[in-house]
Structure 1
Amino acid sequence: MSYVQWLFEGLDYDQNKPIYIDANNPERSLSAAQVKSLVLKIGAGLQKFGLQKGDCACVVSLNDIYYTPTYLGIIAAGGIFTGANPAYTVFELAHHLSVCNAKFVIAELQTLAKVKEAAAEVGIPESNIIIFDVHHHGMPSGATSFWDLISDDEISVEDVADSANVPASYISSSGTSGLPKAVVIPHAYLINQCQLQTERKVPYEVSRLSCLPPFPAYAAPSQHGMPLKTGSPCYIMPRYDGNGAIDAIEKYQITEVLFVPPMILSLPLLPKCTGSALASLRQIFCGGAAIGYHIQEQLYAILHPDARINQIYGMSECGWVCGFQYPEKDETSSVGRPFPGFTLRAVDDDGNDCPDGQAGEIYIKPPFPMLGYLNNATATAEAFATDGWTRSGDVGYVKDTKWYVPDRKKDVIKVKGWQVSPTELESVLLLHEDIIDAGVIGIQAANTFDGVPRAFVVLRPGSTLAESDVKMWMRERLAGYKQVDRVIFVTELPRNPTGKILRRLLLEGKYTEKVAAADDQAVIPEGVAREVLVTENGTSGSVATCEQITPQQDFVQKDLITESGDSTPAATWEHTDLPGEIAEKVPVVGNGISSSALPSEDHSNVPS
């Protein structure tokens, strides 16, 4: 069965009531019946336009109520959907189109110039570009409009007999260690991910706000599946805006929302963020990066007592893997327990299973994994272990049935035989009230084969903190082998669309050192917290999707990795996106705001 067939099968609610509602203009809405008709008409229109079975069509647009019918229409036509961040440069867009082998592009008008340039670079004719003109803002002469696809004809959706092995979508993944790859997602994967959300039982009526990019693995099933399958209304924001999200939550009595860490961090800083404004919320899913419980407490202090922040761990290659079931409240910064059908184990460097409490690389066995990386046999072979296990690249451990994910395996720094977690050091740096974002990398120490940690820090506006002050802070809190050789003050950290720190760019020197501004303010401007967060595809700076959704354990507890290399119930904080829109682009983190990050790149690890 295809994903589209499954979605529209057995619906038992009023299919004429609004399901997708424009949060900025509620007069714009679509019912399930309208969505189904649009899906079949768009599918027929795409086939007439030339799309053949197995062709990839790329959508380059902000979110909209017509995004879901387009997503499903591509799949209904036998095509393969992929989405791209509209904030991409020509280089990034050309790479995405190339790696996904896209044949068609559906792009909003504001992106048309760079879409044409990128399409030309990869050999996509201009005639294969469709303008996503959902607001009827006018069309260039000779261009094809989204509305041109829609006529009286409706497609007959073909059955997919082997849904576990037929591609439905390509999701961008990687980014922290190289250019993104295309994760091949089958129909069964999408069905399973949607089932995880539709079959759960909650004691409240679900009304969801969608304010994340609609193409990563983390957010896609929530928007393109759950509302249609359950009849729960979904309010669509084109992009994230802090005050706008608060207004929508209060106006529409939203009960559920998907966030990423920068939003969790910056929302409490807004004057509008009050208990009465957020009173309806009952569950906030947080993925794409990880945050410790002590950071969540800032928002918990405002939320209703029945509200829960549910960290989601996963990756584009497997989907949502771990989380908590409402109303359980976790205060240990765990990423939760495996969802039904998923199995996890921690494996040491010799391939042996680690006992409880001992850290190793997390291997995941999902019910329906990715099919591999498109046209990349080497990366595919590296991702899969034997017997259906997928290598996550994350360091983690299980304790009392709950999983903890302190680090990425490749990021661990070897110092004099000890393993040093960059995220542990980042967590300690973020405890300082003047530090609002921090990244740590390992470099080769002079005249040795050892590694040594180096810190990159974003200061709160108005701070006079010096390198010596930061080093003293670290010396007072960490063992000698965990000390950094240098502290470099930067305007912001490079992050991928899901908020993960792009350490390779720090290694390559691609960052901007901070120049003190004469009028730095000690108080963080509201505009930073409000708009800096999510851009076209996700959160601050350039953020978006769903990647390595890795919550971490509260670092105030104990050291993450001990001298023996074992992990204690410690904490971390990897990949925190932050907002920023002023010269210093102050990203939000543990104690402030941040600037940069979020969609779907870098192990668009979701639940990408």
Structure 2
Amino acid sequence: MTQSVDIQAFAAQIAAKLTGPGGPFEMTVEQVLGAPIPLLKDRARSLVELLESSRAHGDRDYLVTADRRVSFAEHVEAAGALAAALAQRYGIGKGDRVGILAANDPDWVLAFWAVQCLGAVPVGYNAWWAPREIAYGLEHSQPVVVIADAKRAELLAETGTRIPVLTMAGDLPKLIAEYRGEFPKTAVDEDDPAVILYTSGTTGRPKGVVHTHRNLVAISNYHRFTDGMLDGFMGKEYDPAPRDRRYLMTSPLFHIACLHNLVIPRVVTGDAVVIYQGAYEVDRLCQLIESQRVTHWAAVPTMASRMLHHDLSRYDLSTLSAFSLNTAPSSPALQARLRERLPVAQVALTTSYGCTESGTAATVANPIELAAHPETVGRPIVGVSVEIRDPDGTVLPDGEPGEICVRSPYVMLGYWNDESATAAAIDENRWLRTGDFGFMHEGRLQMAGRRSDLILRGGENVYPTEIENVIDEHPAVLESVVIGLPHDDLGEQVAAVVVVEDPRALTVDELREFVAGQLAYFKVPVQWRITADPLPRNVTGKVLRREVTMS
């Protein structure tokens, strides 16, 4: 216990030196959208400033795949050329939306940065969406152009959209070659929208989370600040020079984990992003870590868990120096197994808590604290305030569970084209109501539960209402309820109880095929129960999910 207190006190001293007057991360408090928010005093004011500064990294690797390398200099040049093409060929200007629908690829990143040059807003659509979901995204965000890989271009065609679609393999190289040497720039305000990413909502419709230039620049500065903390722990002054790190990217770019907290900050720190492509296979992943000398990996717990079923001694994973579990809770048992099998986990395992709306992690547990308190998700990061509140908004004392509320320069602007949902999520003082539940203990946050109906499947948030709406469209279905069931590998798997008049007239295969044609594969229930018995409901007619069983 004494050691833990001493470490926290030492960390506080380092942070105070970094953020105090004259420090490299001197902080100030400014009014942002009507609320006092802690901000870096000396900061960039837009993402384009960050992109332009990355020219200084020259020939250093920025984006790397198993068969492709893109340097920072090459990337900046290509982003400028593509931006010019979008502006001159398609009339893209400030505030226009440009959709990106693709699997992880350097061209996804390139498209994102090109759109920033124009003051336009990239929209990262879920690459696993079915045509029905894609059509909703297009209607909701109204992009002028969509940039897609070949597979998703075919899905876009199935929607019948008339929006121009530029393919990454075919169109982008030609446009970049034609406009090479140009670099348009459009002035933006810090609180202008910089990106829209979709997250499911409890109503069943995906919501477009809007993050601003202020949000994303602040997140990048947070990652620089962690470098400063590391230097401080080693007894050194903060050094902003590149550190030859190589970050493995295994989660989708349409998530904040990889876009906001990996790809964007690297233009500031000058480190490489090693992109894993294709379906997740442990052997291929380990081969990539070995061949590309990966140093950092932020993993979904399911991915880490699957590694434990393979012979890891066949690979040289010794370059891994930092390892974190993100996007979903990890059990103490999984943490212990990882420490037994994966050397980096013995000394560098961390975890965190955050959501799409929070922009980055709200809390982080360092290796020492996580080892001592395996159920914690850590302490608030620099610039973040966390409060636990009851349903009336009263702040609760230490140890008492309630809703986790967060305020920071990283929190979203709001939901695209949805004022009511924004007002429900963010109060007048810019506090984000996360809808998740937990409690504070000695400065550390511990989760007490998620949204009552949320299913966490392999790092993906699955909301039952969306799936129920599709199931209920089947002509034989009277009503349905979707729940999450524990699963050793995925954390949870999707299950459905379907009420029909005659259970013998409808098969599980028919239902599965019906849903699979309209929703992404990870939302399709794995377990089904077809019954004629009505669902349990309360006096107001709401389904009592906790009373639903699969037998």
Does TM-score exceed 0.5, indicating one fold?
A: yes
Q: CA deviation at 1:332?
A: 2.2
Which ranges in structure 2 are unaligned for 5 or more consecutive residues? 1-44, 235-242, 458-462, 466-480, 501-505, 510-519, 528-551
For 1:500 and 1:55, the matched residues in 2 are separated by: 38
Task: Work out which of the residue numbers 351, 367, 378 in structure 1 matches 2:393.
Answer: 351
- Could you say which residue in structure 2 is the equivalent of 1:99? 140
- Could you say which residue in structure 1 is the equivalent of 2:180? 152
1:393-428 superposed Cα distances (whole Å, 9 cap, x missing partner): 01111001110112124449xxxxxxxxx99xx9xx
Check if 1:108 corresponds to 2:155: no
For 2:151 and 2:351, the matched residues in 1 are separated by: 34
- Could you say which residue in structure 1 is the equivalent of 2:246? 207
Q: 1:7 to 1:335 in 2, by over 3 A?
A: farther
Check the 8 A contact 1:393/1:410 in 2, yes or no. Answer: no
Q: CA deviation at 1:152?
A: 2.5
> Which AA in structure 1 matches 2:174?
W
Q: 1:159 to 1:256 in 2, by over 3 A?
A: same
Q: CA deviation at 1:158?
A: 2.3
1:518-571 superposed Cα distances (whole Å, 9 cap, x missing partner): xxxxxxxxxxxxxxxxxxxxxx9549xxxxxxxxxxxxxxxxxxxxxxxxxxxx
For 1:349 and 1:19, the matched residues in 2 are separated by: 46
For 1:171 and 1:6, the matched residues in 2 are separated by: 20
- Could you say which residue in structure 1 is the equivalent of 2:200? 174
Q: CA deviation at 1:111?
A: 2.1
Check if 1:62 corresponds to 2:103: yes
Check the 8 A contact 2:55/2:76 in 1, yes or no. Answer: no
- Could you say which residue in structure 1 is the equivalent of 2:7? none
Task: Work out which of the residue numbers 71, 82, 101 in structure 2 matches 1:42.
Answer: 82
Task: Work out which of the residue numbers 440, 451, 458 in structure 2 matches 1:398.
Answer: 440
Q: CA deviation at 1:282?
A: 2.1
Check the 8 A contact 1:8/1:228 in 2, yes or no. Answer: no
Q: 1:410 to 1:155 in 2, by over 3 A?
A: same
1:7-54 superposed Cα distances (whole Å, 9 cap, x missing partner): 433776x421222211x22xx211111111111111111101221221
Q: CA deviation at 1:109?
A: 1.3
1:422-454 superposed Cα distances (whole Å, 9 cap, x missing partner): 99xx9xxxxxxxxxxxx999xxxxxxxxxxx99
For 1:514 and 1:508, the matched residues in 2 are separated by: 10
Secondary structure, counterpart of 1:111 in structure 2:
helix
Check if 1:9 corresponds to 2:57: no
For 1:225 and 1:84, the matched residues in 2 are separated by: 18
Check the 8 A contact 2:453/2:464 in 1, yes or no. Answer: no
For 1:393 and 1:509, the matched residues in 2 are separated by: 29
Alignment TM-score, normalising by the size of structure 2: 0.70
Q: CA deviation at 1:389?
A: 0.6
Secondary structure, counterpart of 2:388 in structure 1:
strand
Mapping for residues 454-469 of structure 1, pairs under 5 Å: 457=485
- Could you say which residue in structure 1 is the equivalent of 2:62? 19
Q: Which has the higher helix share?
A: 2
Check if 1:30 corresponds to 2:70: yes
> Which AA in structure 2 matches 1:48?
Q
- Could you say which residue in structure 1 is the equivalent of 2:11? none
Alignment TM-score, normalising by the size of structure 1: 0.64
Task: Work out which of the residue numbers 357, 369, 382 in structure 1 matches 2:411.
Answer: 369
Which has the bigger relative contact order, CA under 8 A and spacing at least 6? Answer: 1
Secondary structure, counterpart of 2:144 in structure 1:
strand
For 1:508 and 1:170, the matched residues in 2 are separated by: 34
Check the 8 A contact 2:119/2:187 in 1, yes or no. Answer: no
For 1:248 and 1:6, the matched residues in 2 are separated by: 28
Secondary structure, counterpart of 1:346 in structure 2:
strand
Check the 8 A contact 1:11/1:229 in 2, yes or no. Answer: no
Check the 8 A contact 1:56/1:101 in 2, yes or no. Answer: yes
For 1:323 and 1:258, the matched residues in 2 are separated by: 13
Q: CA deviation at 1:199?
A: 2.7
Check the 8 A contact 1:274/1:302 in 2, yes or no. Answer: no
Q: 1:315 to 1:509 in 2, by over 3 A?
A: farther
> Which AA in structure 2 matches 1:69?
L
For 2:272 and 2:54, the matched residues in 1 are separated by: 18
Q: Which moved more, 1:273-282 or 1:297-306?
A: 273-282
The root-mean-square deviation of aligned C-alpha atoms, in Å, is 3.6
Check if 1:292 corresponds to 2:318: no
Q: Which has the higher strand share?
A: 2
- Could you say which residue in structure 2 is the equivalent of 1:130? 166
Mapping for residues 486-497 of structure 1, pairs under 5 Å: none
Check the 8 A contact 1:279/1:303 in 2, yes or no. Answer: no
Query: Alignment length, in residue pairs?
Result: 431
